[in-house]
Amino acid sequence: MVFKTVNLFNQTNLMKTCTALLLLLITPAAALAQDEPIETDRPDQTETTATVPAGMFQSESGFTHRQAERNGRELILPETLWKYGINDKLELRLITEFEFNKYGDSLAQGLEPVDIGLKVNLWDEKGIVPETSIILTIKLPKVASKDLAVDYVAPEIRLLFQNTITDNIDLGYNLSADWDGTSPNPIFEYTLSPNFKLSETISAYAEAFGYLPEQQHATHWIDGGFKYLITKNIQVDISGGYELTSHNHFHSYFESVGFSFRI
């Protein structure tokens, strides 16, 4: 009995020692992640190349009003991107979007088809070679309100690029192919967004982006906005955009406010 008791005591001490060493290894990495300010995919249309730090959860919500035509408007109340970091190169993503759409006498409201997917950071910036990531998502056609369900599973493939210009300026740009679930034909998209760090807590962006459907007219937009860091893990934003092209002599526009946090 004496030998068994000593053996158990030694095993217990060994487990405590291993646990303590593991915590010592993990804690600096977690602290480092906490020291880096939150990086979000909103409010611009250009998705960042950055992924959420390993083991952390991030939520990015936006409330948007879009006037799509004279007698048609869309309210997004809200759209939320939920993200979880698997490691320093991979995050899981889930998008939920609640909409209220009114076009003339037609009304549709409820949950848009849910998007699930991931973002993978492929390589870091090196010289003129941009930091590059990829987003792969699938829109689930029937995981939606009846009014907003679509017919097809709708994938999206998006390449993300970022170049550092100066310590306070970087340039983000995306290329994507997106299916909306109502047609088998893809919609191609481009974005180009210089970002400006105005202070330790305030940043701004200006952006050009557009959509190029296969069988419809292309639409081209400009937008801009500001982000404010309340803490390193909490951010608010405001933005607005204007369509350069027009439909029936009407230029669409939107305004948006957002709130993001990381834990």
Q: Is 175 left (phi over 0), alpha (psi -120 to 50) or beta?
A: beta
Q: Which CATH class is domain 38-262?
A: mainly beta
Here the tokens at position 158 are: 């998006």
pLDDT-derived band at 248 (thresholds 50, 70, 90) equals confident
Quote the pTM value: 0.86
The candidate with the shortest Cα–Cα distance to 44, out of 243, 200, 241, 248, is 241
Report the pLDDT value the prediction gives residue 1, as an integer from 0 to 100: 40
| Percent of the chain whose pLDDT exceeds 90 | 79
For the segment 27-75, what is each residue's pLDDT rounded down to a tens digit? Answer: 444 445 557 999 999 999 999 999 999 999 999 999 999 998 888 899 9
Q: With 80 as the cut, is the pLDDT of residue 129 above it?
A: yes
> Residue ranges of the domains in the chain?
1-35, 38-262
3-state secondary structure of 17: helix
Q: What is the mean pLDDT of residues 101-125?
A: 95
For the segment 63-105, what is each residue's pLDDT rounded down to a tens digit? Answer: 999 998 888 899 999 999 999 999 999 999 999 999 999 988 8
As a whole number, the mean pLDDT across the chain is 90
Burial 142-163 (b: 16+ CB within 10 A, else e): eebeeebbbeeebbbebbbbbb
Query: What are the CA-CA distances from residue 155 to residues 57, 61, 81, 136, 216 (Å)?
Result: 24, 22, 16, 7, 19
| Separation between Cα atoms, residue 92 and residue 62, nearest integer Å | 19
Report the pLDDT value the prediction gives residue 225, as an integer from 0 to 100: 99
Report the pLDDT value the prediction gives residue 13, as an integer from 0 to 100: 54
Query: What are the CA-CA distances from residue 106 to residues 86, 192, 259 (Å)?
Result: 43, 34, 30
Report the pLDDT value the prediction gives residue 33, as an integer from 0 to 100: 53
